[in-house]
Amino acid sequence: MDARYLNLAAAAIALSIIATTAYAKSPVADETIAVAKAAVDRAEQSGAPQAAPVELASARDKLARAEKASRDHEAKPAIALANQATIDAQVAEAMAQKERAAKAAAEFDASMSTLRQESNRNSSANQ
């Protein structure tokens, strides 16, 4: 009877460990969500709210859904959504960088045009 009781107790302990492990939060999901949060933060700081509001909103939405899935102990959907949020945030950041680069190029072209006009004016005045 004692051996049977010990076997049942051991089985109950093993079952509780398995249940606790299965219900525990996934460190991979938490890390993936942290990467997505950092990507969204970078996108927000890069000017994406103005340059790529749709992509940034998509990233924020997917990040929120990933966090909810993680809280609900659904690791696979949490990881997938966090990865998608990271990609959306990177696209938004790239679009913001592209817009800044286009503005810088336009300003450079305007400066070069002004310099050419000044150079032509000075050349004409010296003749």
Q: What is the pLDDT of residues 34-73, one digit of tens each?
A: 999 999 999 999 999 999 999 999 999 999 999 999 999 9
DSSP secondary structure letters along 5-59: HHHHHHHHHHHHHHHHHHHSPPHHHHHHHHHHHHHHHHHHHTTHHHH-HHHHHHH
Average confidence (pLDDT) over 69-98: 94
pTM over 0.75: no
What DSSP element (H or E) covers 68? helix 53-71
State yes or no: pLDDT of 18 exceeds 80.
Answer: no
The pLDDT of residue 27: 84
The pLDDT of residue 2: 66
Under DSSP, the state recorded for 24 is S
Q: What token pair was written down for 91?
A: 């696209």
State yes or no: pLDDT of 102 exceeds 80.
Answer: yes
